[in-house]
């Protein structure tokens, strides 16, 4: 039993760290300076990462792979003495934030999802994610039908809704007497048949088949479904944002739970505050600067749900809070190798950032003896 007059051990303070550059190389530290310059000018980069999840389904439906895209800027919760070891894998430059400050910048902890080892990685967690993908798809379709029904206004509320066979083998919905059209592509029908082999698409007359409802009737039905709720378009963005927070507990070739032990937080895309987007898609000058920084990384093509695209075209940037203050201005410190301290201080000063600078060597010198326990000691270095 510990008496009240005995000294109590206090835990060292813990902070949130964003390390860079993730990609090692002879020019890594020079790239880190360029990255810091871009953060000062534009904000934090939210880069996409693709996770693949398998939905085994109930026979006779075949298994199906789902792609989850997370656009995020990552932070790891660490005690200061853990940082030097962490930096060996994740980069020798770091932005340090107080946890409460990062929460106020809308960061959230990752939801770690385990894969089971006895059924090709499928389990309760992956099932939740694949079914959330269905929710997102359903909300997306609902959004399109609602926009279609509302597109003609009251002037054509009594016009019938007609379904036609489309040129690509899908279905085209029209509203009589208007140019409004909503297409259901052939691929969607083929996907439905793949998931349910007994599915049969509707038989439509070449001249069109009335659905038995009018534009006004369709709008009334859909408006009733969403009565008192956020618009489906807003809810679609919410589910897309959730996709950026799910992460596997480890990659297939990594030690068990290695991701989970990183204690990761993220600032993510597709978030709004008072109907204002908190991040914007990268374009223009910033896109050019990112490609010049690392062409191999940013121009590599990845398979997104919307198709094959260069990674840079799916990046977003988070500038800061809703008052227009840059995210970096809230940092507790910027940490860098001692050899770059003067240059980093100059960059911050020229960019109007009143943020202190510390060196990684100073932090390592003050670390307690022994090998620190941190996520990096069990995680594979990123590529």
The verdict on 214 and 257 lying in the same domain is no
C-alpha angle 250-26-347 in degrees, rounded to nearest 5: 95
Please say which residue of 190, 205, 229 terminates a domain: 229
pLDDT above 90 for 208: yes
Instruction: Classify strands 160-165 and 209-214 as parallel, antiparallel or unpaired.
Output: antiparallel
The verdict on 213 and 257 lying in the same domain is no
The secondary element (H helix, E strand) that includes residue 142 is: helix 124-150
pLDDT at 377: 38
pLDDT tens, residue by residue, 254-272: 888 888 888 999 999 988 7
> Taking a C-beta distance cutoff of 8 angstroms, is the pair 135, 239 a contact?
yes
The whole domain housing 60 covers 14-110+245-377
Number of domains in the chain: 2
pLDDT above 80 for 58: no
> Taking a C-beta distance cutoff of 8 angstroms, is the pair 284, 41 a contact?
no
> Taking a C-beta distance cutoff of 8 angstroms, is the pair 1, 312 a contact?
no
Kindly indicate the confidence band of residue 371, based on its pLDDT and cuts at 50, 70 and 90.
very low
C-alpha angle 140-144-145 in degrees, rounded to nearest 5: 115
The verdict on 183 and 61 lying in the same domain is no
Higher pLDDT among residues 176 and 7, named by residue:
176
118 within some domain: no
258 within some domain: yes
Q: How far apart, in whole angstroms, are the C-alpha atoms of residue 173 and residue 364?
A: 65
Please say which residue of 200, 229, 258 terminates a domain: 229
The verdict on 26 and 99 lying in the same domain is yes
Token match 């989970």: residue? 260
Q: How far apart, in whole angstroms, are the C-alpha atoms of residue 301 and residue 216?
A: 44
pLDDT at 119: 58
128 within some domain: no
Token match 């006004």: residue? 216
The verdict on 267 and 364 lying in the same domain is yes
Counting DSSP H helices and E strands in the chain, the numbers are 11, 20
The verdict on 171 and 258 lying in the same domain is no
How many angstroms from the chain centroid is the CA of residue 159?
A: 41
Please say which residue of 229, 263, 280 terminates a domain: 229
Bond preceding residue 96 cis, omega within 30 of 0: no
pLDDT tens, residue by residue, 117-176: 665 656 778 888 888 888 988 999 999 999 999 988 788 999 999 999 998 899 999 999
The residues with which 64 forms a beta bridge, in sequence order, are 55
Q: Tokens at residue 334, please?
A: 């910027």
Best CA proximity match to 328, nearest among 47, 84, 45: 45
Measured between alpha carbons, how far apart are the two ends of the chain, in Å? 49
- pTM listed for this prediction: 0.82
Highest mean pLDDT range out of 111-125, 181-195, 255-269, 284-298?
A: 284-298
The verdict on 39 and 81 lying in the same domain is yes
The verdict on 98 and 35 lying in the same domain is yes
Dihedral-angle region of residue 3 (phi above 0 means left; psi in -120 to 50 means alpha; beta otherwise) = beta
The verdict on 101 and 37 lying in the same domain is yes
Counted residue by residue, the chain has a size of 383
Q: How far apart, in whole angstroms, are the C-alpha atoms of residue 240 and residue 277?
A: 13
The verdict on 173 and 144 lying in the same domain is yes
The verdict on 38 and 84 lying in the same domain is yes
309 within some domain: yes
> Taking a C-beta distance cutoff of 8 angstroms, is the pair 16, 99 a contact?
yes
252 within some domain: yes
Query: What is the phi/psi pair of residue 55, to 5°?
Result: -105, 110
Q: How far apart, in whole angstroms, are the C-alpha atoms of residue 86 and residue 335?
A: 13
The verdict on 268 and 190 lying in the same domain is no
pLDDT tens, residue by residue, 299-323: 999 988 778 999 999 999 999 988 8
């Amino acid at each position: 039993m510990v008496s009240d007059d005995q000294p109590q051990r206090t835990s060292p303070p813990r902070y949130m760290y964003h390390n860079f550059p993730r990609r090692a190389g002879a020019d890594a530290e020079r790239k880190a300076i360029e990255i810091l310059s871009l953060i000062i000018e534009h904000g934090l980069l939210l880069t996409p990462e693709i996770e693949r999840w398998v939905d085994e389904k109930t026979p006779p439906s075949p298994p199906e792979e789902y792609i989850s895209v997370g656009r995020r800027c990552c932070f790891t919760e660490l005690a200061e003495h853990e940082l030097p070891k962490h930096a060996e894998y994740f980069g020798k430059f770091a932005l340090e934030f107080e946890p409460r400050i990062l929460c106020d910048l809308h960061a959230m902890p990752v939801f770690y999802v385990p894969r089971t080892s006895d059924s090709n990685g499928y389990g309760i967690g992956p099932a939740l994610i694949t079914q959330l993908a269905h929710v997102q798809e359903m909300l997306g379709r609902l959004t399109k039908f609602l926009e279609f029904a509302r597109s003609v206004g009251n002037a054509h509320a009594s016009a019938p809704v007609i379904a036609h066979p489309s040129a690509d083998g899908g279905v085209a919905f029209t509203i009589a007497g208007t140019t409004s059209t909503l297409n259901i592509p052939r691929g969607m029908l083929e996907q439905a048949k793949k998931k349910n082999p007994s599915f049969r698409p509707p038989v439509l007359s070449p001249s069109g088949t009335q659905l038995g409802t009018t534009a006004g009737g369709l709008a009334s039905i859909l408006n009733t479904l969403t009565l008192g709720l956020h618009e489906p378009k807003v809810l679609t963005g919410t589910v897309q944002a959730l996709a950026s927070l799910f992460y596997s507990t480890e990659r297939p070739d990594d030690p068990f739970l290695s991701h989970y032990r990183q204690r990761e937080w993220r600032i993510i895309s597709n978030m709004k505050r008072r109907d204002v987007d908190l991040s914007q898609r990268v374009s223009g000058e910033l896109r050019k600067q990112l490609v010049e920084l690392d062409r191999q990384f940013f121009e590599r093509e990845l398979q997104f749900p919307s198709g094959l695209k260069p990674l840079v075209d799916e990046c977003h940037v988070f500038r800061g809070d809703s008052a227009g203050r840059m995210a970096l201005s809230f940092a507790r410190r910027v940490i860098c190798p001692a050899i770059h301290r003067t240059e980093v201080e100059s960059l911050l000063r020229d960019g109007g950032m009143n943020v202190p600078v510390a060196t990684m060597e100073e932090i390592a010198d003050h670390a307690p003896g022994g090998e620190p326990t941190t996520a990096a000691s069990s995680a594979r270095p990123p590529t």
